[in-house]
Structure 1
């Protein structure tokens, strides 16, 4: 509730107007009057004007109160993130929770919802469910027909949709905010090949899931550069670890045992600590070149002790700010919005780690 004091001075022979009087005069329901007074979504502009006109004529509202209600309200924004043990996504969630603290009537209302990972049906259901409250939804997309259909439905109802980290090319989504993932994959391949300083050998990729376009694009970029520039390096089959440390540990152990010529591992997704554990336990840490994603407390530690060689990162604050600003953009600016907002790719090594950065523990 906005907390308006809607009482009026009345003479002894005149009772104060009630919401029911406003509803009757405007020919709407009490629920509609309540929605207008509290600037909730779902009320047409002409209905809002009719309610405010009736409220003014009945002295239910002052001119100042009416003008305040008539101003466009800030949007309700929902972020949908995959649940699980991925430290980078946990970091995004922590930063979102900090932004969700109420900041005044003119600031957007933000909710962060973690949903089951890698499940297109669950994501599609969440998009439809949260569309009832939200004016805009930002989410890490799964490239699947069910998700595309849900995006079609909610954008047809007027919601703004922004994909973050992983895209879903769809004409109805407003924009994608994240890395150019094909370039990311090529960069990871170049780093592994250069770090290894070997003319031949095997390289391995561990992805979260190819259902995330970000992961499939990184894989494609990686394979393309190796084929173009290092044809004597052999890329072994991609394993899907679903950003789970236990799965990644088992995949890394299997790769080390099956490919004695393995010289490098690129973790396309999260949970690099699982791969690092396998390298340490098999005595291969520092011998196998290892590159992953997301500068968090675990990857920072792995860089410092030499288990990881490089971490590719995208600043979470930048991603969140761009997504929020896009959803809050004025309607007249929408035709000029770029459909892709590429975020700067940061590459961290042990020698260039930022100091004084507070990162969450995994």
Structure 2
């Protein structure tokens, strides 16, 4: 065990900075693996830190290797089971990462709050070589993204993008096609060619949700003109809000034949369907999670659209190192009770 005297005499960051002839902030960047330090300067600081005993020879060698990317993942907070699963997968990788894997951090921020997203982007830009995030389509978010990208931090939006922001890469589905597919399924599976269908979304501030809505409306207009579309309701991917929306729909729309949950947290809708015994409805949602799996097995949910979380994470991290801003859309997985993995 080291004595208290030995601990007191151990070199500090300030001692390393003084001996290396650089600022304390520069040493802090090197030791905490942040970007913004030239490779020659970084190696000089590590040599000094090793010679002074601040770092062991093994630690200095590890720090001296080519620095992996620092990657921050920003996800919306809330009760959306798919986003929580995605966050769990990211955090699982943090604990299992190897020496040459990216350094990952994952934070949940207030959902549907543009100001909170802007603050989180700026806060993490200094440490991060790349930031992966769910985009809220808002002028302040676009401005922040453009500023951060211009400073050298690579940005990748997942699932929902920023529209016309060429400096920001995007990875996700062809959401208009997703909406059209949902409309096709409801039109084909409904027990009648007439009646009403309803849309529930997280928010139109997510471009993905508005694009799915547009696709859904277009195919019903083309192929199922006798199905009337009830105006989309925003449940903010919250199970309790979605539950209340479903109950209101049952009371206000007596000829309701189908519901498409454009966003997440389908559990609130399935709860309402079961309580009111409306299992004859066609219900389609997003995200294969334990709750939607159970609802498919008991027949409450007819189909689930899914984007594999591990594939999404892998491809997003890869995209941070590639010059391609707009790769091809990811593959949509469609699950029914009979083909559940």
Q: What is the TM-score of this pair, normalised by structure 2?
A: 0.87
**Unpaired segments of 5 or more residues in structure 2?**
1-10
2-side partners of 1:228 and 1:301: how far apart?
A: 33
Q: Does 1:275 align with 2:295?
A: no
CA deviation map 1:304-348 (0-9, x unaligned)? 111111111111110011111222x2xxxx43x251342211111
Counterpart in the other structure of 2:179: 185
2-side partners of 1:166 and 1:219: how far apart?
A: 13
**Unpaired segments of 5 or more residues in structure 1?**
1-16, 355-362
Structure 1 segments (4+ residues) deviating >2 Å: 17-40, 44-58, 60-72, 102-105
Name the CA shift for 1:48/1:348 in 2 (closer, same or farther; >3 Å): same
Name the CA shift for 1:68/1:280 in 2 (closer, same or farther; >3 Å): closer
Name the CA shift for 1:244/1:37 in 2 (closer, same or farther; >3 Å): closer
Is residue 34–residue 70 contact of structure 2 (8 Å, CA) maintained in 1? no
Is residue 117–residue 141 contact of structure 2 (8 Å, CA) maintained in 1? yes
TM-aligned CA deviation for residue 32 of structure 1? 2.5
Counterpart in the other structure of 1:305: 298
Counterpart in the other structure of 1:284: 278
TM-aligned CA deviation for residue 77 of structure 1? 0.9
1-side partners of 2:338 and 2:73: how far apart?
A: 34
Is residue 195–residue 228 contact of structure 2 (8 Å, CA) maintained in 1? yes
Q: Does 1:90 align with 2:84?
A: yes
Paired residues in the alignment total: 330
Within the candidate set 235, 253, 257, 2:251 is matched to: 257
- More deviation, 130-139/36-45: 36-45
Within the candidate set 149, 168, 171, 2:166 is matched to: 171
Q: Does 1:348 align with 2:335?
A: yes
Bigger Cα Rg: 1
Is residue 38–residue 69 contact of structure 1 (8 Å, CA) maintained in 2? no
Output aligned runs, 1:46-125, within 5 Å.
47-48=41-42, 71-101=65-95, 103-125=97-119
SS of alignment partner, residue 237 of structure 1: strand
- C-alpha RMSD of matched pairs (Å): 2.8
Name the CA shift for 1:162/1:253 in 2 (closer, same or farther; >3 Å): same
2-side partners of 1:159 and 1:92: how far apart?
A: 23
1-side partners of 2:171 and 2:55: how far apart?
A: 42
